[in-house]
Structure 1
Amino acid sequence: MPVQRRSLFRPCIDLHNGQVKQIVGGTLSDKSPDTLKTNFVARQSAGEFAKIYKEHNLQGGHIIKLGPGNDEAALEALAAWPDALQIGGGINDSNAKYWIDAGASKVIVTSYLFPHGKFALDRLKTISGIVGKDKLVVDVSCRRRGNQWLVAMNKWQDITDMEVSEEILKMLAEYCSEFLIHAADVEGLCQGIDQELVQKLGEWVTISTTYAGGAKDIADLALVDKLSGGRVDLTYGSALDMFGGTQVKFDDLVKENANRQKENEALKL
């Protein structure tokens, strides 16, 4: 039986009002800004975090702009490690190429694909044609409704008409090279990952996929590995000591990730 790929740690830089923050995903609201719950606000700039990720060669990280006022910080991070970090938040057909030219390795798109909450395949084809399939990540971050996961847009506030399923992911994969999936209901809570979702993603995805939401222990990386068969990578946020957390040490995660990376590289020999 062939040895499977190992799930990896993918770093993140979440930007809100120009600062690196860790936010409880379910509390973001344009209508009620007072409900926002912030776990951490960094003293370091976005560029400093990008330099740390570069130093440790943590590939495939993403920058997410949560609302306006984040472009300057995002550009600083991209300049610190050009062609290595993905960027999402307000990406559409008119600015996608701008961000690629500014140093993003890929652009991440969600809300643009869902005018009035309804999926528009023509928009996916348009933006894929602009930047190229290999430069496009489709964010299918979702909220659970009964036994379904429905894609959520606009900082995870609005539920769309798209259910995350094997059929849908297969269709989307024709136009992009990667998926990013925040489990918005558990994002920022440090109470554990959505294990059922991770398992389903492992069964369904055929392209590179990163899951985010709820990771609270370094053992969660092994858990995602087991549940997904190594097909899904994991992002840590609020649990990390570099983001003010107490449950996971960044240095320990870097060492674990390096070992996994070596195993994956050996598989390619």
Structure 2
Amino acid sequence: MTSRKSLFRPCIDLHEGRVKQIVGGTLSETDPGSLKTNFIAKETPGDFARLYKLHGLEGGHLIKLGPRNDEAAKDALRAWPGGLQIGGGITDENALSWIGCGASKVIVTSYLFPKQKFSLERLRTISSLVGKDRLVVDISCRRRGHKWMVAMNKWQDITDTEVCQETLDLFSNYCSEFLVHAADVEGLCQGIDEDLVALLGKWATITTTYAGGAKDISDLRTVQRISDGKVDLTYGSALDIFGGTLVKFQDLVDWNKTVLSKS
């Protein structure tokens, strides 16, 4: 019998200080013209944080995609202190300051991979600094053949690290959660990477959130089934609060209420 049920986990993606939904694979520092944006919000980051707070949607991820996002991020954290995790440019030098700004946890990726090579020393350093319970490791990835390789720098650079049982076991000694964007399907609204979700359900021993391609409320049931309830799901461009037409935010709120009332 499944002891855990998959939940909807909200997100706020920041680009140039605005809440946006972006096709993940098009983010590039060397070719800014390649960027494809599905949605730019009129509302502030704080507005979205207050919406999530109103509905008790804890553990959402607030991601700074590139520079000029710090003030926007602080706006969201002020709106719901302790309700959001923050990622994007997190290092040992700024992690504690973001906790001080109200982030419940910090999410780290690129810092762990100097020159695209995994550094266990850096993982240990930042885990000791903020505490395992306040650290989320982002193992967002791109598919290469039959493997998924961790991608960094807005998912443009492939690291030397494979998303696999060995990697998750090692990393879970130093963090309390994983965040996994399937960058190849991020923002496309063409369906989740079911193969990856199933493997995450098999491998993960700590809370894990998957993002990428979700386009229907039924995707939550699919994630629940193929991960045995061990993986949570984020919706982006398909969601009505982000300009989408495929998924209603209220339906996801109701899903969580139902799950949590039974747990």
**Pairing 1:195-214 to 2, within 5 Å after superposition:** 195-214=194-213
**Pairing 1:109-148 to 2, within 5 Å after superposition:** 109-148=108-147
Shift of 1:220: 0.3
User: What residue identity is the alignment partner of 2:208?
Assistant: T
User: What residue identity is the alignment partner of 2:72?
Assistant: A
Q: Output the aligned Cα RMSD.
A: 0.6
- Equivalent-residue separation in structure 1 for 2:83 and 2:144 (angstroms): 35
- Equivalent-residue separation in structure 2 for 1:16 and 1:45 (angstroms): 12
Shift of 1:4: 2.7
User: Could you tell me which residue of structure 2 aligns to residue 156 of structure 1?
Assistant: 155
- Equivalent-residue separation in structure 2 for 1:263 and 1:179 (angstroms): 24
Q: Could you say what secondary structure the match of 2:3 adopts? A: coil
User: Could you tell me which residue of structure 2 aligns to residue 105 of structure 1?
Assistant: 104
Identity %: 68
**Pairing 1:248-263 to 2, within 5 Å after superposition:** 248-263=247-262
Shift of 1:84: 1.2
Give yes or no for contact 1:6–1:263 (8 Å, CA) kept in 2: no
Q: Which runs of 4+ in 1 moved over 2 A?
A: none
- Equivalent-residue separation in structure 2 for 1:68 and 1:43 (angstroms): 20
User: Could you tell me which residue of structure 1 aligns to residue 15 of structure 2?
Assistant: 16
Q: Could you say what secondary structure the match of 2:180 adopts? A: strand
User: Could you tell me which residue of structure 2 aligns to residue 93 of structure 1?
Assistant: 92
Aligned residues: 263
User: Could you tell me which residue of structure 1 aligns to residue 40 of structure 2?
Assistant: 41
- Equivalent-residue separation in structure 2 for 1:90 and 1:3 (angstroms): 36
Per-residue CA deviation, residues 37-56 of structure 1 (Å, 9 max, x unaligned), is: 00000000000000000000
- Segments of structure 2 that go 5 or more residues without pairing to the other structure are none
Give yes or no for contact 2:127–2:135 (8 Å, CA) kept in 1: yes
- Equivalent-residue separation in structure 1 for 2:212 and 2:158 (angstroms): 17
User: Could you tell me which residue of structure 1 aligns to residue 221 of structure 2?
Assistant: 222
- Equivalent-residue separation in structure 2 for 1:51 and 1:250 (angstroms): 14
Q: Could you say what secondary structure the match of 1:72 adopts? A: helix
User: Could you tell me which residue of structure 2 aligns to residue 64 of structure 1?
Assistant: 63
- Segments of structure 1 that go 5 or more residues without pairing to the other structure are 265-269
Per-residue CA deviation, residues 190-245 of structure 1 (Å, 9 max, x unaligned), is: 00000000000000000000000000000000100001000000000000000000
User: Could you tell me which residue of structure 2 aligns to residue 4 of structure 1?
Assistant: 3
Q: Could you say what secondary structure the match of 2:97 adopts? A: helix
Q: Does 1:75 align with 2:74?
A: yes
User: Could you tell me which residue of structure 2 aligns to residue 234 of structure 1?
Assistant: 233
Shift of 1:252: 1.3
Give yes or no for contact 1:142–1:181 (8 Å, CA) kept in 2: yes
Give yes or no for contact 1:107–1:136 (8 Å, CA) kept in 2: yes
User: What residue identity is the alignment partner of 1:20?
Assistant: V
Q: Could you say what secondary structure the match of 1:76 adopts? A: helix
Q: Could you say what secondary structure the match of 2:198 adopts? A: helix
Shift of 1:253: 1.3
Q: Could you say what secondary structure the match of 1:63 adopts? A: strand
User: What residue identity is the alignment partner of 1:11?
Assistant: P
Give yes or no for contact 2:11–2:61 (8 Å, CA) kept in 1: yes
User: What residue identity is the alignment partner of 1:47?
Assistant: G
- Equivalent-residue separation in structure 1 for 2:202 and 2:2 (angstroms): 17
- Equivalent-residue separation in structure 1 for 2:255 and 2:83 (angstroms): 20
Q: TM-score, structure 2 length as denominator?
A: 0.99
- Equivalent-residue separation in structure 1 for 2:60 and 2:22 (angstroms): 18
User: Could you tell me which residue of structure 2 aligns to residue 246 of structure 1?
Assistant: 245
User: Could you tell me which residue of structure 2 aligns to residue 267 of structure 1?
Assistant: none
Shift of 1:187: 0.1
Q: Could you say what secondary structure the match of 1:39 adopts? A: strand
Per-residue CA deviation, residues 63-96 of structure 1 (Å, 9 max, x unaligned), is: 0000000000100100101011000000000000
